[in-house]
Amino acid sequence: MLKRTLMGLLRSHELTGDKAKDPLLKSHYYKLSKDRAWEEIVSTLKKMQGYKILHEVESVGEIVLEKRTVTGRTMDITVSVISVNPVNSAVDIYSASRGSFGDLGANYRVILDIYRTLDKKLAAYKTSGA
């Protein structure tokens, strides 16, 4: 966590993906078609405290959210729902803080918060990969 905070002094964004070195930042997979995953994920994100959905672009599988921090900074978050095959979907998250200073690990914590919430809601569908 300390390393993450030190990196956060310099970096103002964080993203997930299959090649992420940090296991907590690896893509999450669900045994749901993209359409079903999209519906579940959008409805779950709408209920999350402190997050505001700005755009939903189902055709490209992107949900754009905004979160204000206690210090008044704004974070822009993009949740991507990707069809792996007809019965599996992956979710990746990109979070960036507005402004020129680092985020002290806030984007990392936002990603973990969103993944935790989605994994809880979609626990029955969580898989380790495609």
Per-residue pLDDT of the chain (130 residues; tens, 9 = 90+): 555 544 545 678 899 999 999 999 999 999 999 999 999 999 999 999 999 999 999 999 999 999 998 778 899 999 999 999 999 999 999 999 987 676 778 899 999 999 999 999 999 999 987 5
Structural domain for 83, as ranges:
2-127
Q: Give how many domains the chain has, as a whole number.
A: 1
Which tokens hold the place of 66?
A: 């905004």
Which tokens hold the place of 38?
A: 């999209």
Domain with 86 in it: what CATH number?
3.30.310.220
Supply the Cα-derived Rg of the chain in whole angstroms: 14
- Distance CA(12)–CA(23), nearest Å, equals 20
Element (H, E) at 54: strand 51-57
* Angle (deg, nearest 10), helices 2-10 and 106-121: 120
